[in-house]
Structure formats: structure tokens, C-alpha cells
Amino acid sequence: MAAACLRAPRQAVPGRASRRRIPGRHAGRRGIPLLVLCLALGAGAAGAEPEGWAYTLANELMSPFCPGRTLAECPSPQAEDLRLWIIVQEAAGRSQGEVEEELYARFGDIIRSTPEPKGIGISAYALPLAVFVGGGFVVAFVLRRITAKPAAVADGAVGAAVPPLDAEFERLIDEERLG
């Protein structure tokens, strides 16, 4: 095989169209089955994730043992025990709402990753919306002021936009012109 690589390239036969190989010409055709195989394996790996609400809940709740981390990210043994407890509760047939209520009763609101949308917690949702809408009104007002024509030009009065000069100032201008 190594000797075949060291051979001189074949000479073209006169009168015959040369069939010169272009590197990578058929690489796309060879790559299609490989692409299909990779996609199939990727879809199988995505389908291998455990289904159910226990894993989702562990990613949504903040850890009472590791401040600033979710329960799924916390490396402490207590967090591991709590994650396993949630999985066991799901396997036992309890609903996600029941388990959440028990966790909130046990640990309080410290495990909520988002504020509850009632009471003062509604401000976390309403305030950004109000600021966004208010900002839109400010931008519209400013753009309208910038693009609006002056009232005198809109009415057609050319000289009305110039304020009247003082009598003494006009006298000084006349002296300059004449003098």
C-alpha cells in the first residue's frame, strides 16, 4: 500500500478525456450518512434524559444549603439528600404542587427562584413592564418633538419666527448701515 502512494501519477492517454480526481468532490456524499448517524445518536441521547417533574423542580428551586445556587447545582450532601427525596416523592405518586408546598413549608420562601406573583412580589413583574411602556412614551414624545416643524414655518409665515428687535437696537443697526 505504501508503494502505491509513492508511485508516479498516471499519465493521461491521448485522445481520452482525463478523469482527474478532485479532492473533496464526493466528500459531501460520504458525509451525509455520517451526518444522519450523528443526528440519530444525538436524538437518542436527548431522549435518554429522565422524564418527570423531579429533575425540573430541582433546577427551579434555590438550594437552602448553597446560597445563590439551584438545588441541582449545589454540591453539598444535604442537597443531594433533598434531590433524592424529591425523586422518591415523584416515584411515590405525589403531585409536584404537593411537594412544592411541603418544601415551602419546610424551608420558607428562600428556596423560590422567582418571587411569587401576588402581594409585593407582583412588583417584580409589573415594574419592568411599566418602565418599558413609560420609556416607549418618552421616546415617542422626544422623536415627535425632534421631527416636528416649527409652528411659524408650518403656517407659512416666514418672518413670524424672528422675534422683534428693540427700537434702540434697530437704531444702532441703521446708524451702522448709513454711517
pLDDT tens digits, 110-131: 888 776 777 777 787 788 999 9
Q: Delimit the domains of the chain by residue range.
A: 53-113, 122-148
pTM for this entry: 0.44
In this prediction, residue 166 carries a pLDDT of: 81
Q: What does the pLDDT average to over 33-54?
A: 59
> pLDDT: is 46 or 177 the higher one?
177
The yes-or-no verdict on residue 48 having pLDDT over 50 is no
The yes-or-no verdict on residue 155 having pLDDT over 80 is no
Distance from C-alpha of 82 to C-alpha of 73, rounded to nearest angstrom: 12
Helix (H, G, I), strand (E, B) or coil at 62: strand
> Yes or no: is domain 53-113 CATH 1.10.8.640?
yes
Could you tell me if 109 and 116 are in contact, meaning their C-beta atoms sit under 8 angstroms apart?
Answer: yes
In this prediction, residue 49 carries a pLDDT of: 45
Highest mean pLDDT among 33-42, 133-142, 149-158, 170-179: 133-142
User: In three state form, how does the secondary structure of 129-150 look?
Assistant: HHHHHHHHHHHHHHHHHHHCCC
Q: What does the pLDDT average to over 92-103?
A: 92
Could you tell me if 150 and 161 are in contact, meaning their C-beta atoms sit under 8 angstroms apart?
Answer: yes
Could you tell me if 179 and 172 are in contact, meaning their C-beta atoms sit under 8 angstroms apart?
Answer: no
In the numeric block, which cell numbers belong to residue 7? 508511485
The DSSP symbol for 31 reads H
